[in-house]
Amino acid sequence: MTGLSIKGPLSDDDILVMEDVGILIEGTRIKSIGKFNELKIAYCKVEVHELKGDHIGLPGIIDAHTHICFGGSRAADYAMRNAGKTYLEIAKAGGGIWDTVTQTRKSSQDQLIKTTMKRAHRHLKNGTTTIEVKSGYGLSVVEELKMLRAIQKANDQTPADLISTCLAAHMFPKDFEGSPEDYLELISSTLFPILKEEHLTNRIDAFVEESAFSEQQIAPYLKKAKAMGFDITVHADQFSTNGSKVAVDVGAISADHLEASTQTEINLLAQSDIISTALPGASLGLGCNFTPARKILDAGGALAIASDHNPGSAPMGDLLTQAAILGSFEKLSNAEVLAGITFRAAAALNLQDRGQLKEGLLADVLLFHSSDYREILYHQGSFKPCVVYKNGEKVYD
Ligand code: NIG
Ligand code: FE
């Protein structure tokens, strides 16, 4: 891309298409990008892999919002929703997130490591080289720690980068003796210091919604997290519209979901430095409207696109497909969709070392068998990369 602005609309003219390109990788990073033949002469001693036939190179895809660490399945919820029950009705009746909490608590740390790695490997094969992974199905100090340690261990054993986030404020745990405020106080005073000590995460998330926490309950919790140096992200405006305001007030890095955002919230987000993250997988899983991505960009906002891969609202877990479909429904350019899953997604995770094919950045590179980059989204996700490099290593071929 030439116009690498984080905010606002992008057109396909902003995409810099280079031909006969070589990428020089040194260690985990891109050392140089230029004409293949010139690089070959300038660096005559390096090992050369010359590709046969036309290929398109893209930066590794970044999925800035997932819940891939979980136990069990919620196929029953999906069937109930398709029979007419809503996500919130199922949650109120004791199903939904609480069902996965019960199943995740029953899983051992080793089982969580294994299933998280399995899901991460599938994503990596499909080109997602960086995957944010939330806790949030533990909902007690001990169980949240089990999840976050499992994510850390899974990260050690997979070539993909798993960026963990603490979502202990996913909902008020039904078995907690005390008020929601007591629960949030316990988490912030007991769990947050351990997260720092064990380097388990530097990100705190919260679900602001009728079935989870109110604006008034969550604001002090997130402000405390921010004061302790955590980056903040918020599940905002999924069904009602209070979350984005909290996200702006506490200076969050990203506000995710936004399916219910009206022009008021869209403008508020666009006037801030927040990345607005659309989660088309949740719209597809729940059969509801998409995040107003076009309006967010036209208002001057920053749009990332993530899969929200989780057992409840977004079981599909295929970011390229979902991003392409969002682009089709919301009338997004190739540049806007690709930016949303690369450098704008990197911004949503506050990562400066990836998201572009650029000297000095991580050598996370995807190759697609094609001579036209537009083929990638045209096939709506069914066209997968033929080669995936992560940190300079070929991890899938
Ligand atoms: O991002 N909205 C809240 N949390 C998740 C869903 C989690 C679940 O249903 O298990 C989401 O959609
Ligand atoms: Fe989510």
> In this predicted complex, what is the ipTM?
0.96
Express each pLDDT in 316-368 by its tens digit: 999 999 999 999 999 999 999 999 999 999 999 999 999 999 999 999 999 99
**Among 67, 240, 242, which residue has the most ligand 1 atoms within 8 Å of its CB, making it the best to mutate?**
67
Residue 45 pLDDT level (bands cut at 50, 70, 90): confident
Question: How large is the average pLDDT for residues 37-58?
Answer: 91
Q: Can you tell me whether residue 362 is helix, strand or coil? A: strand
Give the position, in ligand 1's atom list, of the atom nearest the Cα of 314. Answer: 12
pLDDT given at position 211: 87
**Among 65, 105, 235, which residue has the most ligand 1 atoms within 8 Å of its CB, making it the best to mutate?**
235
CB within 8 Å of 179: residues ≥ 6 apart? none
Ligand 1 atom 1, closest CA: 308
- Percent of the chain clearing pLDDT 70 (strictly above): 99
Question: How large is the average pLDDT for residues 101-123?
Answer: 98
Its sign, for the CA torsion 211, 214, 215, 217, is negative
Helix ranges (DSSP H) in the chain: 36-42, 75-82, 87-92, 97-106, 109-125, 141-157, 180-186, 192-197, 215-227, 243-250, 263-270, 280-286, 293-298, 319-330, 334-340, 343-348, 375-378
Does residue 75 or residue 16 have the better pLDDT? 75
Distance separating the N- and C-terminal Cα atoms of the chain: 25
For residue 275, give the nearest of 288, 290, 293 by alpha carbon.
293
| Site residues for ligand 1, CB cut-off 6 Å | 67, 96-97, 100, 207, 235, 238, 282, 308, 310-314
Give the position, in ligand 1's atom list, of the atom nearest the Cα of 257. Answer: 1
Distance 235 CA to ligand 2 centre (A): 6
Express each pLDDT in 255-302 by its tens digit: 999 999 999 999 999 999 999 999 999 999 999 999 999 999 999 999
Side-chain-facing half-sphere of 232: CA atoms under 13 Å: 29
Residue 3 has pLDDT above 60, yes or no: no
**Structural tokens at position 234:** 């918020």
Give the position, in ligand 1's atom list, of the atom nearest the Cα of 100. Answer: 10
Distance 337 CA to ligand 2 centre (A): 19
Q: How far is 64 from 279, CA to CA, in rounded Å? A: 10
User: What integer best gives the mean pLDDT of the chain?
Assistant: 96
For the beta carbon of residue 220, count every other beta carbon within 10 angstroms.
Answer: 14
Give the position, in ligand 1's atom list, of the atom nearest the Cα of 207. Answer: 3
pTM: 0.97
Ligand nearest to the Cα of 285, by number: 1
**Among 147, 310, 322, which residue has the most ligand 1 atoms within 8 Å of its CB, making it the best to mutate?**
310
Q: Which helix (H) or strand (E) holds 333?
A: none
Q: How far is 166 from 202, CA to CA, in rounded Å? A: 8
Question: How large is the average pLDDT for residues 200-222?
Answer: 97
Ligand nearest to the Cα of 315, by number: 1
Residue 2 has pLDDT above 60, yes or no: no
pLDDT given at position 69: 98
Q: How far is 21 from 368, CA to CA, in rounded Å? A: 14
- Show the domains of the chain with their CATH numbers: 12-58+357-396 (2.30.40.10), 61-348 (3.20.20.140)
Q: How far is 261 from 234, CA to CA, in rounded Å? A: 14
**Among 73, 86, 170, which residue has the most ligand 1 atoms within 8 Å of its CB, making it the best to mutate?**
170
Amino acid in the structure at residue 175: D
Side-chain-facing half-sphere of 260: CA atoms under 13 Å: 13
Distance 321 CA to ligand 2 centre (A): 18
Is residue 230 classed exposed, middle or buried when 0-12, 13-18 and 19+ CB atoms within 10 A define those classes?
Answer: buried
